[in-house]
A and B are shown apart, each in its own frame.
Chain A
Amino acid sequence: MIDVMEIVRKLERKGASEAEVVMWRNRRFRVSFSEEISDIIDLELISVSLRVAVNKKIAVIGVEDISSENIERKIEEIIRIARASSEDPYWGGLNTVFGKTVVEEIYNKELDEVSYDDVRDIIRTMVDNVHDVHPKVSVSRGSFNILRTEYNYANSYSNEILKRSENNFGGYIWVRADVDNIGTFSDFFIGRSIKKDFDPAYFSRKVAERSLEFSRARKTTAGKYKIIFENSVAGSILTSVFSPAVSAETIFRKRSPLIDKIGTQIFDDKISIVDDGTIGRYIGAREFDDEGHPTQRTILVEKGILKTYLYDSYYAKLLNTRSTGNAWRGLASSPRPSHNVLIFEPGDLEINDLIKEVGRGIYVVRVIGEWLSNPVSGYVQATITHAYEIENGEIREPLKGGTLTMNLYENLKRSFIGASKEIRATPARIVVPSIAVDNVSIS
């Protein structure tokens, strides 16, 4: 096993004024299937990331060639690159605050014990239940995944190696109904415990039923509507538009519409949003962030008022504040602030009551292209693939097509109707209810 502290000391001896080393050991198990299993991947890889400062000159090298000779070569090379670089005038030093927050349920041994046979049975259950809904409904694509991550961290100030481990399972199915017309639907699942968090029969039947409904979808009519964004859609919109806007990086770099908005009303006063990396059942929770800083619960929006941004140590030092434990990093890049688990506080209405409250409008359940929205302006755009008409407070005909546009800050401030009691956690590390908004354009 690679000793990250030993590499830190070697980098310092070679001339680094500060050094940081991370080692990941990841297991990735994935079974892809349609009507039957097609591809299976099971692998375990070790990756190492080195970051050094030579005074204020920074370099990063990510290594997946982990032979000892190559690591030695990269130690020499990173020092050479850093010396050749120009200074980062904003560099305030590596993180110096270390620790672990207690986060329960983050590692489940059950997932280590899942056998190939167990997974084969889960997939068989899903496929059989799809067929049970209707003989002409079939599974076009799907996957079942188990991920395990071990993370070892050390830097020039940490004195010891910080270690954490997480695992989770997840996947999706994509179902096609070939009846009078073609109907499709897909959905994901994710969790820490297959036994507690996942009922493959119930899940796959629901997806199959919706694919049948969408075989009779008609095109959406243009206009301005009251819209309910089903929780997974609301989650992906917030991930694309709101999450980047509360990052201290986009604030400092002047690429956020929330600059100088702390203490001001940015959303309706019924909206509160927190970032919480300490609730183990949610994906994204962890004991410390990617630079060893403990994670925490951070109130971002309280009753519509913006309270703070999300910081890693770089931007915290730069903006003269404390890190919120939100550093995330790639193999070959410096950490950057992003959300751990973004939680949009639920409302007080059951989803059916929210639909009644809307009265007439559109219930959007799947979109594509929402990630093309503009986090710099808050302008949301997405193409509807699956939706329902809402008429007289009830779900009516299925709909497809149409591009919806709104401004997140305008619509959630002036046209927010409400949020459902039901929440859902998504793979994008967000926990969100279904959200109803007025004045959304559909073209």
Chain B
Amino acid sequence: MSILSVSYKDLLEEGLRYIEKLNVKYGDLRYQEYEYETIYVEDGGLREYSKMVRRGIGVRIFNNGSWGFSSTNILDINMLQKAIDKAYSMAKTFRGSKDISERKTVREKIESLYKKDPFEISPEEKIKIAIEANKSSMISGIRSVVTRLGLQKDKRIILTLDGADIEIKTTFVGLSHLSVAYENGKIERVFDQKSKVAGWEFIEKEDWNSFTKDLSELAVKAVRAPMPKAGRFKVVADPDLIGLILHEAFGHASEGDLVSSGTSILKNKIGEKVASEFVTIIDEGVVEGGYFVPYDDEGNKKKRTVVVEKGVLKGYLTHLTSAKELGIEISGNGRAQDFENPPIVRQTNFYMLPGDQSFEELIEDIDEGYYLLGRGAGGGQVDTGAGTFTFAVGPSYRIEKGEIKELVRSTVVSGFILDTLKEVDGVGKDLKIETSVFGGCGKDGQMVRVGHGGPHVRIRNILVGGELK
């Protein structure tokens, strides 16, 4: 077993000096310390108190037009040198013709804001909050309830051969809840969560008992509700849902590695109209309500990237390799799940800018349609090459002649990337961005935390799954 005789920063610097001697085009070292706690309560009782602790270093070497990556969680210089040698050997064997962008690098230490360290709070206090929230949701008509309290601390240090020296600490907390309702052979489940890049003060401030009880009440109503009618409808999507639509329908297709490899339907479309003039889409690393990505995992500052401006495609999300391939700026979107994985192009906080319409104005001229809600939705998926996307919708409402009518059950919505955003004909003046400490976005086997959101948005024509009538 190794004994850490030098501090991790000294170890990284020693590793970097070792990489320098290899005479490679580029190399980086990424140290990560990660702590994650979950308090899992089911049907009124504590099911499990669990904790994960990870620490390790990822090593990346770029040479001969190819990347090599390895990592170690035995933190001594011998094991680090072995990982570096392995990454070097891979880059040497698998020669390629890729290149990386030149850039200006910086040194910075940055930490997300919090008042109370969640890992300093006693287990008893955390358990009490989770159990009370869970019990509050056990109302008549509910069959099963699950509550999870999630707490995360993530510290990353990125040291690169071209001079970047970045340290980022993020504290992140939240609570999730699932209510399952049953009536006359029908079952409906509704899930929701609230998370924030903050400390224990966020958990103390929220009324979790109302949060979970409201979800149970919604599940009980939803189990009695009809399925929506299947077909193409005019809809208003709430900010939770519009964030998901953007993330799936557009965000992935704007990822530079997918664009350069030909896996995105947005390839060669810069300057073209890809959405209606009401649509402006931003990817931004630090924004209220979102996850905290001031720098990416290559040490690039995460810029405020305008992806779509008034319906016209303006840019892609990029990292060192994809920026070079596409001949555009690095946007700071090279992100890795952890020290065991190399950075790939990922979204950070992907959202639509608000417009100027009230909610009433958005629904007033809808004769027949739906007010689609994200609460209770379970995510989505996109085929960026075929241009098809789909995502779940939580219990929602029917709209008739400009008025909100009855609740309908959860369903899915799907469409084609290049069609859907052209159908946006109204954008609300509100804005909400959210993130989750319980999940994130998956790509190439890596999950990273993301944020997404926007205002209420009206879409003239979208395919709603449901019952054929």
Contact = CB atoms under 8 A, between A and B. Distances in A.
B396 interface: no
A257 B340 contact: no
B68 A369 contact: no
Interface in B81-127: 83, 86, 89-91, 93-94, 96-98, 122-124, 127
Contacts of B380: 369, 372
Given A67-B2, A257-B187, A184 B386 contact: yes
Given A59-B50, A65-B55, A37 B385 contact: no
Interface string B378-422: 111111011011111000000000000000001110101000000
Given A60-B50, A65-B55, A141-B261, A38 B321 contact: yes
Interface string B39-56: 000110111111111111
Interface string B330-362: 000000000011101000000000000000000
B97 A36 contact: yes
B468 A224 contact: yes
Given A254-B144, A369-B391, A65 B94 contact: no
A286 B184 CA distance: 41
Given A40-B67, A64-B54, A255 B143 contact: yes
A401 interface: yes
B467 interface: yes
Contact of B51 (A62, A178, A223): A62
A174 B144 contact: no
The range of chain B's interface size is: 35 or more
A413 to B, nearest CB: 14
B305 to A, nearest CB: 22
Given A60-B51, A65-B53, A38 B38 contact: no
A69 B4 CA distance: 9
A253 B42 contact: yes
Contact of A62 (B53, B67, B445, B463): B53
B186 A58 contact: no
Interface stretch (B72-80, B204-212, B309-317, B430-438): B72-80
B1 A332 contact: no
A299 interface: no
Contacts of A372: 378-381, 390-392, 412
Interface in A238-278: 253-255, 257
Contacts of A331: 52
Interface residues of A, number: 87
A41 B70 contact: yes
Interface stretch (A154-162, A202-210, A381-389): A381-389
A130 B38 CA distance: 46
A89 interface: yes
A116 B411 contact: no
Contact of A46 (B42, B47, B73): B73
A369 B244 CA distance: 13
B127 A253 contact: no
B69 interface: yes
Nearest to A63: B53
A296 B188 CA distance: 33
A38 B385 contact: no
A34 B187 CA distance: 44
Contacts of A371: 381
A403 B71 contact: no
Contacts of B67: 38-40
Contacts of A68: 1, 3
A65 B263 contact: no
A74 B56 CA distance: 17
Given A385-B386, A401-B388, A176 B96 contact: no
B72 A43 contact: yes
A88 B90 contact: no
Interface in B23-64: 33, 36, 38, 42-43, 45-56
Interface in A19-59: 28, 30-32, 34, 36-43, 45-46, 58-59
A68 B66 CA distance: 36
Nearest to A40: B90
A32 B189 CA distance: 38
A254 B180 contact: yes
B467 A58 contact: no
A411 interface: no
A138 B4 CA distance: 48
Interface of A: 2, 28, 30-32, 34, 36-43, 45-46, 58-70, 74, 77-78, 80-82, 84-90, 116-117, 120, 138, 140-141, 143, 174, 176, 178, 182, 184, 214, 222-224, 253-255, 257, 331-334, 366, 368-369, 371-372, 374, 376-377, 381-386, 400-403, 405, 441, 443
Ordered nearest first, which 6 A-B pairs have the shortest CB separation? A369-B390, A383-B390, A443-B230, A65-B55, A332-B52, A84-B123
6 contacts: A39-B67, A60-B51, A116-B89, A254-B144, A372-B379, A383-B389
Given A62-B50, A64-B55, 20 more contacts: A31-B94, A36-B97, A40-B94, A42-B90, A46-B73, A46-B74, A58-B46, A65-B56, A66-B1, A84-B49, A222-B468, A223-B468, A253-B144, A254-B180, A255-B189, A333-B38, A369-B414, A374-B410, A381-B411, A383-B381
